[in-house]
């Protein structure tokens, strides 16, 4: 159980939930003081989850014993957690065993490699929990870089984004910020699945030091998945591209498939085909 992590996660989610987000049929206890922040009070979350105020306060202070699955389910309902956040909450509370190998998986399932090869003309690659690119197709290499010429530790999505940001990104508002938030959410969830992965911890520190958006999202304990992010790139051969980056988790594994597509009939779609 990660008491400090659980406390910080509960605190962040409580602060993000506004009184108007609470269903009308759920009655909040009367406030004893003026509300100074938009988030719910601790006693309000305790009432919604039907636990004592003192127990919930101890949870947020990292002083409470491990909550039961029933209490976690009640807290998840009270805080309106998504499915990904529920899973993250359970792992923080020690209700789900972390990965046995302690680190990110290395062996890519053969069916995943076959799928990658069948995505003809669609840039795609497979990443592990550290966001290391462990397999890719020719279209991805043409769009981004020749991954085979990079050292294994350089084939990391966030590292490559930092490296190529000045030359590939056009600076469209929100594009790289959304990507950084997406990366932080993925690595935050992975850090709970692999709590003893020192390489992953070093990556997080590295990215947070170089990317303010990543650092902010990491501090906010964001784990909500962002399956699609729009990116604006300047490719040296085909010019400006407006493409969508999609992430699909591969069932039964800790790998994800990342694909880049463009709107049908758009100049970017034609340019991707030209690659």
What does the pLDDT read at residue 102?
47
Claim to verify: residue 165 and residue 269 sit in the same structural domain: yes
| H or E element, residue 261 | strand 256-261
For residue 146, count other CB atoms closer than 10 A to its CB.
10
Residue 139 contacts residue 117 (beta carbons within 8 Å):
no
For residue 38, count other CB atoms closer than 10 A to its CB.
12
Residues above pLDDT 70, as percent of the chain = 83
Which among 268, 97, 91, 275 has a CA at the least distance from the CA of 192?
A: 91
Q: For residue 257, give both structure tokens.
A: 């498939």
What does the pLDDT read at residue 188?
86
Domain membership of residue 98 (yes or no) is no
Domain membership of residue 101 (yes or no) is no
Claim to verify: residue 124 and residue 233 sit in the same structural domain: yes
Claim to verify: residue 84 and residue 114 sit in the same structural domain: no
Question: What's the CATH code of the domain at 11?
Answer: 1.10.260.40
> Tell me: the pLDDT tens digits for 212-261?
888 888 888 877 767 778 888 888 888 888 899 898 888 777 788 999 99
Domain membership of residue 102 (yes or no) is no
Claim to verify: residue 176 and residue 241 sit in the same structural domain: yes
Domain membership of residue 208 (yes or no) is yes
Claim to verify: residue 200 and residue 246 sit in the same structural domain: yes
Claim to verify: residue 221 and residue 115 sit in the same structural domain: yes
Claim to verify: residue 142 and residue 232 sit in the same structural domain: yes
Residues 60-84 as b or e (16 or more Cβ within 10 Å = b): beeebeebeeebbbbbbebbebeee
Domain membership of residue 258 (yes or no) is yes
User: Is pLDDT of 7 > 70?
Assistant: yes
pTM of the predicted model as reported, rounded to 2 decimal places = 0.64
Q: Cα–Cα distance between 228 and 249 in angstroms, integer?
A: 12
Q: For residue 168, give both structure tokens.
A: 């590939």
Claim to verify: residue 234 and residue 262 sit in the same structural domain: yes
Number of domains in the chain: 2
Claim to verify: residue 228 and residue 266 sit in the same structural domain: yes
Q: Which of 44, 59, 92 is the last residue of a domain?
A: 92
Claim to verify: residue 118 and residue 68 sit in the same structural domain: no
Question: What's the CATH code of the domain at 152?
Answer: 3.30.450.180
> Tell me: the pLDDT tens digits for 38-52?
688 888 888 888 888
Domain membership of residue 105 (yes or no) is no
Domain membership of residue 28 (yes or no) is yes
190 lies in which domain range?
Answer: 110-274
Domain membership of residue 104 (yes or no) is no
User: Is pLDDT of 173 > 60?
Assistant: no
What does the pLDDT read at residue 223?
75
Claim to verify: residue 251 and residue 192 sit in the same structural domain: yes
Indicate the range of 5-9, 16-20, 263-267 predicted with least confidence: 16-20
Claim to verify: residue 127 and residue 189 sit in the same structural domain: yes
User: Is pLDDT of 113 > 70?
Assistant: yes
Sign of CA dihedral 48, 49, 55, 61: negative
């Amino acid at each position: 159980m990660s008491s400090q992590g659980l406390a910080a996660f509960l605190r962040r989610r409580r602060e993000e939930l506004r009184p108007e987000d609470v269903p009308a049929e759920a009655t909040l206890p009367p406030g004893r003081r003026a509300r100074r922040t938009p988030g719910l009070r601790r006693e309000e979350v305790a009432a919604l989850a039907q636990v004592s105020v003192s127990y919930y306060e101890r949870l947020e202070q990292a002083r409470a014993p491990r909550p039961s699955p029933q209490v976690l389910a009640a807290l998840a309902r009270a805080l309106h957690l998504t499915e990904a956040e529920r899973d993250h909450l359970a792992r923080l509370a020690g209700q789900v065993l972390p990965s046995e190998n302690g680190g990110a998986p290395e062996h890519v399932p053969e069916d995943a490699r076959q799928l990658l090869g069948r995505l003809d003309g669609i840039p795609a690659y497979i990443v592990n929990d550290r966001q290391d690119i462990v397999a890719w197709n020719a279209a991805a290499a043409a769009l981004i870089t020749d991954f085979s010429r990079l050292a294994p530790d350089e084939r990391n999505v966030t590292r490559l984004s930092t490296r190529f940001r000045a030359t590939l990104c056009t600076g469209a508002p929100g594009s790289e910020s959304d990507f950084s938030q997406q990366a932080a959410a993925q690595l935050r969830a992975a850090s709970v699945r692999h709590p003893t992965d020192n390489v992953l911890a070093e990556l997080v520190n590295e990215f947070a030091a170089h990317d303010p958006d990543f650092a902010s999202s990491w501090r906010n304990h964001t784990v909500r998945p962002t399956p699609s992010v729009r990116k604006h790139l300047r490719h040296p051969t085909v010019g400006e591209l407006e493409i969508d980056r999609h992430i699909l988790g591969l069932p039964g594994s800790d790998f994800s498939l990342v694909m880049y597509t463009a709107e049908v009939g758009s100049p970017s779609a034609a340019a991707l085909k030209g690659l």
